Structure 1
């Protein structure tokens, strides 16, 4: 398998492989074999060291350090993120996936010269950030001659899903006997051999160390020591270590405590302890250590055995010596860590140094390392109040790193300690944030509300931010929130004191939302417009934008402000891309997709959905079904839409996300209305249509629209009229053509004939001035149906043809079929869709269509690669294939003929 892997990368295609197996089974030997066979390749190695588990990007730094001279060729944001992550320059905290893209690009650049083999051994001892990003890179390699081979010990808790695996087991019995026979010092009874082979399960290191660690008498009598396999191997190493001179053992302990493998550092520390160069001889002779350009042990287990076998004082002395020889300027974090391990008890000076290391780790985007430094700092802090404060800070860092259980454990520990009132309020806020981000949304609004109230007299600015977080949480929870719903939060927020002026965009948004929820649409709308202007201002800070643009966009949608909604969604996506905030990007893309859908830009929405799926797959972010569900619903892909609606409904109910539940029910009503199944549409939103619009969030008015149409066309105009009154309040307060056009169309459905026709004309005129093309097409459709029922076939045909053409153009097939059926009832027939040309026989793959579309829109290879989370070399490879399939030779020709690849997408959509 390893030989085939090398053959593939020599042919220019990337490969990834996880080699896993138990301790001593031969993973490292296989990696050495691979390195020996890769003499024509560039080989870079990483070895996980247990003591470096909490050092930010330690493993990634091992891999990339020899290649950093090529970083100048990377796009600016990626290069800056990589340098910041490695502490080579200052700057804003880099997004970890932007660092991953930088590593991906760096490997691709290095592989331009010759194939690159990245060998990672003992991955179970790598720091969390390095494991995440190395796995990310291994998954995203495509058309580069790069191999990433990761060896990991079983059992482990790392996620290497979707990477090919090679499971290394023990030797078969014949080979196990050969190996055992090669190391035995005397003839042994066959039954004893059988027992050794059976109990070792063919593990080669166990066989060798068992033979070395057993006396002739034990082997001859068969009275061998018992115990689990790792313990037996450790016992063998311990026997060999115990026979060494004291100075040699102390030198080995120093080497075990020094994770870098730097011989200069080792000998300087040894000198401080009075250990001479001759001390290495006995250990070198029996193969326990190799001190060359790098200090190496024959097996990682030797390091841990040495460390555990030493006394506490011996370990502290070793760490103290290593701390003294570590440079405080170039290696402050390892120095701080060594000082912490050497401390005999609480020491505020060491704790302060660890806290500074935590700040550096946080600035480099490694929350897991920051949490480890802060937790250690808390253990060494003398004062109880300061100790509790550091525990809360460590819990915050654990939460940011996605280590939820550890964060909650630390919070419980802190809250049992000496926290002042502000610290307790911050701890409450963190607990609420954990509840929200871990998708246990039902409790989150109430917890955030409680934290905000507690913060009011202590930190007015933070209290108002917390109220705004509570609003976001309550919008996600929707009608499932119960206590802690939007109305209760709005009432508390409006009574809260303001922070010192001037007010920022977030402050304005909180006031606007609270006023609208408490006093109604008319009172709140001027404040909503002011807040939306603030979020569109060039003065909006990037942090404030990333944090609140989703809520601002949702508020714009709720106020029927399509222009502001689109601008805010665009800005959210642009900001997330520019800052490399990849964790935020799925939410931003989803918001933009929903805007595209409302504006009738279904092709653009579907294209952006592919990008969102790429981001989610690359980052492991939770799936967000809302966008796919709305696109399928508007496209009229009935089976797919109902499947997504049912799945979203079930998942949202389980997680307590009322927003998604309401949106799914609204989508179901929209789909049923498009299919003229009005009774089913009515039942889909019957219950939620009775809830106050303020409790439904974004879909509230959409629910009313579908309810009114379903009720009116199923012969229940009185129910439609009641819902219309509630819809009209929001629409008239908004005053936009979108809002007033929807109100006029809905009112026409329940009006007498002499009043209905002017209302349909008003709806078409107003919606025609807006950009919501789907709603304009529905106005023509409903007017045409009304004319047909009034026996005005000629007039009806005109409206129905316009409707059918508009729905067909935007790709809303179910509504187009509804318009076509109505045309047939007038005696006319709808135009058939154009036939697919023979040019689409050589269809592009979905990914090729996506890349072709982005390239034809003018994006560079580097920009496309960043969006799709692959290297620019992979984009080059795809474009060569696209050019060959389309029989073109340049990007200019691609821009001139986008229909050639769009047709394949249209054909595939029709086939679906």
Structure 2
């Protein structure tokens, strides 16, 4: 349904009533206006001003009066980023970027300072990128980013653009409006921000020093401001200077990170003070001549408060009204100043006539999208009428003389917009959306107008908002997409589309508040008519949303309920797969042994022809591993899960969980090289799709954990710290990833002999109870118990590890290879109950031997040896060393070698002790296990043997630590 136009919705008489001033104005049919006591208003509205009039009416930007201190800072920053001064002299110090922020109320001269900074940057051959926030464009995602980058990138040829954007072409291109978003896995917001970082950095290196200028940053859209906040915080090492201006009192609550970043900056925000009486007098004299009365200038300062914009406008009005600048006329200044903003400006606009008012309203509503043709259409004006109205508005210094219709100052735009009667404003936004779509603009551009309209049950509105949401999702702007879908839901959409809108609101890409997402998806399931494919997708998304709420048992039950009611065998199988997968990630399901049996029986009947069946194989592989079934069984199903084509890590319909479990199955089955290959592929896929949030954080943390299993402790720590840093920058959304990283990092630090550092990390990060109910790898509670044990807190460690054992044994998860709580518990109880400790260690060995990997058997043999004295203990250590010679980790071999050497030394077998001690110290040095190496050297000294020079070998990371 076509939205009604302004002319259709409101008669000319009604509009005339709206814009007529209570007294003193007469609007005549010929388009002329006559204002009592103002002879200069008696001219035709549409007449073209002569050159003299045009020169008077163009708003001249004032020089930067009383801004010397700010200009000194600007000069220093430009000298630093360009490496040379305005004279061309080379400055010997290295180039350094930075951030400058100018603050102050509206009209304080911020824009003038930014323009001066741009001029001076151009003198130094810096490339300038310019953008401006808009009050009406704050809901338009990446609006400011587009202004900054699109003009420059659009000037390149297609091949140059692809070179500049590199691998980020498919992610950054749609964001800045240079290419349509492809049908692919959608990037996450962090991925888009990282891509923008890369592109701007590349442009700075390619084009020389870069100066980014953002005016009215308080009105920047949230997506652009989030990027600007993260990027500006680290530009000092780049040839980039960021210059922003904003009104602190108008920063939205969600811009707290931006204001905090600016306050922490090396150069604090420069707040622009009002002009002094002397500066105001200078401005007045520049405009009106030198023969101005001092009292007149003083009054000008009083009525403007020293505001530069208001002072310039006041001087122009005095000039235009031919008011003599004398002491006697000073009393007229207050009324003249009032015409510059707020109600006074509105009154002045109303006196210009209906046509001018309608055009001004249209420009205010359209904002940055305004063209004269669109504004004329929106105002229901013909071309001639619109041209006449534009001339009047220009003559009154309301619009500029630019090609596009723009207000002279944001103060004017705000006053005009807020003066539009609410009902008229809503109608104008609806018509603007229609006109923009008809003009070929994207639904996202029209959507910001539709968000301002009232729900009317219009299918066209609902569909446009849905399309806008899809566009925003593909650009990596989920918050904007969520706003559009929420508004579409309130329209409301037709009954046939309601479930689809609710389903889209439940997209993982839009996950913000999991509880709200759950409600949307449950509502979608209640819709009376649901196509089978849509219902299946809703259930899958609901299960994952519940898992984000830490309601894994409920999530598994949702999938199971669908299994019960499904009539299609393939749907039932898929829902079973989802049920088994969700159950795999909860560590408190008492039905786990039953589920394991069902999964085992089911997979025996499958052929592996479909993706669902291969994912079930992957779950069976993981289940076999955690239950401690023979390693060959787990490996067989893991290989069958991968098939010939492997698994995708970024397919939203299938998730990354099962591929992760398959890779980790290989790890715990002593195949870390295979696990590393899979996780390296995962990270590459995440990077390619722009998934640089939780997924990439988990990827780096688990890749580090794999390196730990290979005995490369130094590299392992680097990767896990990178994963933790990636998780940290996500805030609360990264909590789950942080648990993975913290558990891995604490275990690595203990292996390196840095127990104090591990404890410090645990305290600082509050790594302790309550632990997540979802499975973490490594198991967080077990790692915490191991830390207590390393600190000599045996009793506390025993209590915690006993709780772990009760939880996991209940589920039938008995493999010490993936969760070694049992051998650790044995060591924790050795001083209080030696007999029980031996029983626990022997049970751990029995379980490890059933599983059958060298790592699992060798480590449990070491634990048993520590509880056994004399020759029997030495024999166990020798057996452990022989077993671990076959394991993939040099660290796991180094520790028992040193223990064997120490035991032989204590037994007086010094000649036999030398070889394992020397091997142990060498291996410990190579893998970065400083604690083991130190103990080995101490044992060598105690044995009267000379330690060999320690050779430390650092393993090169697979692709380098990530830039975060």
TM bucket (normalised to shorter chain) is: 0.7 to 0.9
Whether the 8 Å CA contact 2:825–2:840 is kept in 1: the answer is: yes
Residue pair 1:649, 1:661 contacting (<8 A) in 2 also: no
Counterpart CA distance in 2 for 1:116 and 1:333 is: 30
1:29 corresponds to: 112
In the alignment, which residue of structure 2 is the partner of 1:148? 242
Cα deviations across residues 31-57 of structure 1 (Å, max 9, x unaligned)? 233223333333222122344333343
Q: Does 1:5 align with 2:77?
A: yes
Q: For 1:55, what is the secondary structure of its paired residue?
A: coil
**How far did 1:22 drift?**
4.5
Aligned to 2:92: none
- What's the offset of the Cα at 1:61? 1.9
Note if 1:250 corresponds to 2:343.
no
With 102-111 and 586-595 compared, the bigger mean Cα shift is at 102-111
* Residue 804 of structure 2, aligned match among 688, 693, 698: 688
- Report how far residue 448 of structure 1 moved: 2.0
The 1:308–1:122 alpha-carbon spacing in structure 2 relative to 1, beyond 3 Å, is: same
Kept after mapping to 2: 8 A contact 1:179/1:204: no
Q: CA 1:581/1:217 → structure 2, altered by over 3 Å: closer, same or farther?
A: farther
The correspondence for 2:755, drawn from 611, 615, 638, is 638
How far did residue 590 of structure 1 move? 0.4
Q: Equivalent residues in 2 for 1:715-794 (5 A)?
A: 716-750=833-867, 756-794=873-911
Distance in 2 between residues matched to 1:49 and 1:81, nearest whole Å: 25
Q: What's the counterpart of residue 922 of structure 2? A: 805
Residue in structure 2 matched with residue 88 of structure 1 by the alignment: 179
1:297 paired with 2:404, answer no
Q: Secondary structure at the match of 2:819?
A: helix
Whether the 8 Å CA contact 1:636–1:671 is kept in 2: the answer is no
Is the 2:553–2:589 contact (alpha carbons within 8 Å) kept by the matching residues of 1?
yes
Residues 1:366 and 2:460 aligned together? no
- Which protein is richer in helix relative to its size? 1
Aligned to 1:266: 374
Stretch of structure 1 that moved more, 825-834 or 811-820: 825-834
CA contact (8 A) 1:426 1:451 kept: no
Identify if the C-alpha distance between structure 1 residues 769 and 611 changes in structure 2 by more than 3 Å, giving closer, same or farther: same
Using a 3 Å threshold, how does the CA distance of structure 1 residues 640 and 421 change in structure 2: closer, same or farther?
farther
Match of 2:49 in 1: none
SS of equivalent residue, structure 1 residue 290: coil
8 Å CA contact 1:633, 1:667 repeated in 2: no
SS in 1 for 2:131: strand
- Please give the TM-score of this superposition, normalised by the length of structure 1: 0.76
Tell me the secondary structure at the aligned position of residue 147 of structure 2: helix
Q: Is the 8 A contact 2:625 2:668 kept in 1?
A: no
Shift of residue 89 of structure 1?
Answer: 3.6
Quote the offset at 1:100 in angstroms: 3.6
Tell me the residue number matched to 2:823: 705
**Aligned residue among 575, 589, 612 for 1:503:** 612
Secondary structure class of the residue paired with 1:288: coil
**Are the aligned partners of 2:904 and 2:912 in contact in 1 as well (CA < 8 Å)?**
yes
Residue of structure 1 in register with 2:582 after alignment: 470
- SS at 1:552's partner residue? helix
Equivalent pair of 1:47/1:59 in contact (CA under 8 Å): yes
Cα distance between partner residues in 2 of 1:260 and 1:190: 37
Distance 2:412 2:815 in 1: 60
Structure-1 separation of matches of 2:294 and 2:773: 69
Aligned equivalents of 2:347 and 2:144: distance in 1? 31
Give yes or no for contact 1:785–1:796 (8 Å, CA) kept in 2.
yes
| Residues 505 and 531, structure 1, Cα contact 8 Å, conserved in 2 | no
> What does residue 541 of structure 1 align with?
648
Aligned 8 A contact 2:376 2:386 in 1 = no
1:570 aligns with one of 649, 657, 680: 680
Q: Does 1:393 align with 2:504?
A: yes
Check conservation: 2:489, 2:498, Cα contact below 8 A.
Answer: yes
Would you say how many aligned residue pairs link Structure 1 and Structure 2?
A: 824
Larger radius of gyration: 2
Specify the alignment match of 2:10 in structure 1: none
Secondary structure of the 2:243 match is strand
Q: Take 1:107 and 1:123, find their aligned partners in 2: how far apart are those partners?
A: 18
Residue of 487, 512, 520 corresponding to 1:376 = 487
- Is the Cα–Cα contact under 8 Å of residues 213 and 239 in structure 1 kept in the other structure? no
- Tell me the CA shift for residue 348 of structure 1: 0.8
Distance 1:104 1:272 in 2: 44
Kept after mapping to 2: 8 A contact 1:662/1:688: no
> Structure 1, residues 322-343: CA drift from partner, whole Å, max 9, x if none?
6336556553432465567678
Instruction: Specify which of 57, 60, 76 is matched with residue 145 of structure 2.
Output: 60
Alpha-carbon distance change, 291 to 363 in structure 1, aligned in 2, over 3 angstroms:
same
Describe the superposition over 1:239-262 as per-residue Cα deviations: whole angstroms up to 9, x where unpaired: 333333111111111112223345
Matches within 5 A, 1:750-899: 750=867, 756-831=873-948, 833=950, 867-868=962-963
The answer on whether the counterparts of 1:391 and 1:411 sit within 8 Å (CA) in structure 2 is no
Q: Say whether residues 1:522 and 2:616 are aligned partners.
A: no
Question: What do residues 622-659 of structure 1 show as CA deviations (whole Å, max 9, x unaligned)?
Answer: 55433432332222123212211333454663776784
Q: 2:560 aligns with which of 453, 467, 472?
A: 453
Task: Provide the C-alpha distance between the structure 2 equivalents of 1:377 and 1:426, rounded to a whole number of angstroms.
Answer: 20
**TM-score, normalized by length of structure 2?**
0.73
Partner of 1:103 in structure 2?
196
Q: State how far apart, in whole Å, the 1-side matches of 2:389 and 2:869 are.
A: 103
Gaps of 5+ in 2: 1-72, 84-94
For the aligned residue pairs, the C-alpha RMSD in angstroms reads 4.9
Measure the CA separation in 2 of the matches of 1:598 and 1:79: 36
Cα distance in 2 for partners of 1:630, 1:569 equals: 20
Deviation at 1:141, TM superposition (A): 3.6
Counterpart of 2:97? 14
Structure 1 residue 101: Cα displacement: 4.3
Distance 1:349 1:330, change over 3 A: closer
Q: Is the 8 A contact 2:364 2:413 kept in 1?
A: yes
Given that 1:46 and 1:63 are in contact with CA atoms closer than 8 Å, whether structure 2 keeps it comes out as: yes
Distance across 2 between alignment mates of 1:681 and 1:271 = 75
SS of residue matched to 1:39: helix
Q: CA deviation at 1:535?
A: 3.9
From 149, 171, 174, the equivalent of 2:273 is 171
SS at match of 2:504: helix
CA distance in 2, matches of 1:20, 1:436: 44
Aligned CA distance change for structure 1 residues 381 and 736 (closer, same or farther; 3 Å) = same
